[in-house]
A and B are shown apart, each in its own frame.
Chain A
Amino acid sequence: MLSSYLTMAAILFCIGLYGALVKRNAVIILLSIELMLNAVNLNLVAFSKYGVVPSLTGQMFTLFSIAVAAAEAAVGIAILIALFRARGTVNADEYDEMRR
C-alpha cells in the first residue's frame, strides 16, 4: 500500500510542477506550489504509517509544513497585490525587471 501512496504523491507533484512552470497568472503559480507541498505532506503521512518505524513524527512534520505553507500563501498574495499596484498586471511573464 505504501508504494501506491508514493506514486499518488509523485503524480500530484509532477502536475504541480507542470502548472507552476507553464501557467502565466501568478496566483495560479502560487496555487501550483501549494499542490506540490501537498504531495510532500502526503508522502510524510504515508511514511508515518507504513514506514519501517511507524511513529507520529511524520504527522508532526506535516503539521509544521502546513503552518509554513499557510504563512507562505499569505505573504505571497500580499506581495502579488503590491506588485499588481506597481505594475498593473499579474502576468508573470511581464515581471522581467531582472533581465532587462
Chain B
Amino acid sequence: MFNFNFSGEFVAFFVFAVMIISGAVLMVSFAKVVHMVVSLAAVFIGVAGMFVLLEAEFLAFVQVLIYAGAVSILMIFGIMMTKHQEADAEQAKPLHETLTAIGALALFGILFYAIRQSDFPEPEQALAQGTDNTMEIGKLLFTQYVIPFELVSVLLTVAFIGAIVLAKKEAE
C-alpha cells in the first residue's frame, strides 16, 4: 500500500501532484474561459514533470510541446474565434451539477478502493533501458512499431486536412 519513504522522488511527486490537482480544480471553478485554459496548461506541465519522475524524458518533452504548447494555443484560438459570454454566464442547474459531482466522486471512490485492494507485485527487474530514453524509443519506433508509426502519420495528415476543410468558409 502507501509505504511512503520521504525520498527526493516523493517530494517531487508531491509538488507535481499539488500543481496538477490545484490546476484542475481551478479549471473547474474559474469563471472566465481564458483563465481555465491557462490553469489547464499548468496541469499539462505538471503531468510532464511526472513523466520525468517516471523516467520517460522523451514523453515529458513531447507533452510540453504538444499539450502545453500546441493544444493550449489551439484552444485559445478556438475561444477567440467563437463569440462567448466573457464570464461564461452560468444559468445554474444545481441538481444537474450535484448529481454529476456525486457520480464523479463515486467513480473516484470505486477506483480508489480498487487501487488500495489490488496487490501490485514488485517488478522482477528494473526497466532495462540504457541511459538514453529517446534513443531506445527511436529504435522501437523504427523496428517493432514501424507500421503503427506510419499509420499515425497518415492519420495526422488526414485529420489536419480535414480540419482545414471543415473550418474553411464555405463558398457562397
Write out the residue numbers on chain B whose beta carbons fall within 8 Å of the beta carbon of A81: 78, 81-82, 166-167
Secondary structure at chain B's binding surface: helix, strand, loop or mixed? helix
Q: How many A-B residue pairs have CB under 8 A?
A: 219
How far, in whole Å, are A86 and B107 apart by their CA atoms in the complex?
37
Write out the residue numbers on chain A whose beta carbons fall within 8 Å of the beta carbon of B55: 49
Interface size class of B (residues with CB under 8 A): 35 or more
Q: Give min CB distance, B94 to chain A, whole Å.
A: 11
Question: In residues 65-90 of chain A, which contact B (Cβ within 8 Å)?
Answer: 66-75, 77-82, 84-85, 88-90
Write out the residue numbers on chain B whose beta carbons fall within 8 Å of the beta carbon of A72: 159
Q: How many residues of A contact B (CB 8 A)?
A: 70
A3–B116 CB distance below 8 A: yes
How far, in whole Å, are A81 and B108 apart by their CA atoms in the complex?
34
B residues in contact (CB < 8 Å) with A? 1-2, 9-10, 13, 17, 20-21, 24-25, 27-28, 33, 36-37, 40, 43-44, 47, 50-51, 54-56, 58-59, 62-63, 66-67, 70-71, 74-75, 77-79, 81-84, 88, 90, 96-97, 100-101, 103-105, 107-108, 111-112, 115-116, 120-121, 123-129, 133, 136-137, 140-141, 145, 148, 152, 155-156, 159-160, 162-164, 166-167, 169
What are 13 A-B contacts with C-beta separation under 8 Å? A4-B13, A19-B28, A34-B71, A48-B127, A52-B120, A67-B155, A70-B70, A70-B71, A71-B155, A73-B74, A84-B83, A90-B82, A90-B83
10 interchain residue pairs of minimum CB distance: A71-B159, A78-B163, A78-B166, A54-B127, A78-B167, A10-B111, A18-B104, A14-B108, A15-B24, A77-B78
* New contact pairs (4) apart from A10-B111, A42-B50, CB-CB < 8 Å: A6-B115, A59-B58, A71-B159, A81-B81
